[in-house]
Amino acid sequence: MDQTFSKFQPYALSLLRFITGLVLLQYGIAKIFKFPVVPYFANIPPLITVAGTIELVGGALLLLGLFTRPVAFILSGQMACAYFIGHMFKGADPVFLPLLNGGTLAIALCFTCLYIATAGGGPISVDAAMKK
């Protein structure tokens, strides 16, 4: 089974990078451009504006596969900060469990971006095209 699917592994990495970039880009667009209209992002504080800008730019770069490793590393750190600052400590008392504090996506994106930072963008990326 491993040999059968191993030839698709590099393309699966490119797909993972593309979808992760798309999700982050979506959040960046919602925070910065207010589209689509999400009441939660109506009046965001400056820290969330900075996070949205990082998600917008970083998500677009991941989508293209340009500067994949450093961008994914930065996004991984940003998602870790999003979990600890925005989810775990959003109330008076810290809530560590992601299911209870709404931080499940932040954790998943943190470790997905960390994996992409170590594995690279895959064969379908601007980085791969520039190497050729």
118: helix, coil or strand?
A: helix
Q: What percent of the chain has pLDDT over 70?
A: 100
Task: Give me 49's structure tokens.
Answer: 């504006």
Mean pLDDT for the chain?
Answer: 95
pLDDT at 53: 98
pLDDT at 1: 73
> pLDDT (tens digit, 9 = 90+) per residue, 49-93?
999 999 999 999 999 999 999 999 999 999 999 999 999 998 889
- Gap between the Cα atoms of 88 and 115, Å rounded: 23
Q: What percent of the chain has pLDDT over 90?
A: 86
Task: Give me 124's structure tokens.
Answer: 């379908």
pTM confidence score: 0.93
Cis peptide bond upstream of 36, omega within 30: yes
- Gap between the Cα atoms of 10 and 23, Å rounded: 20
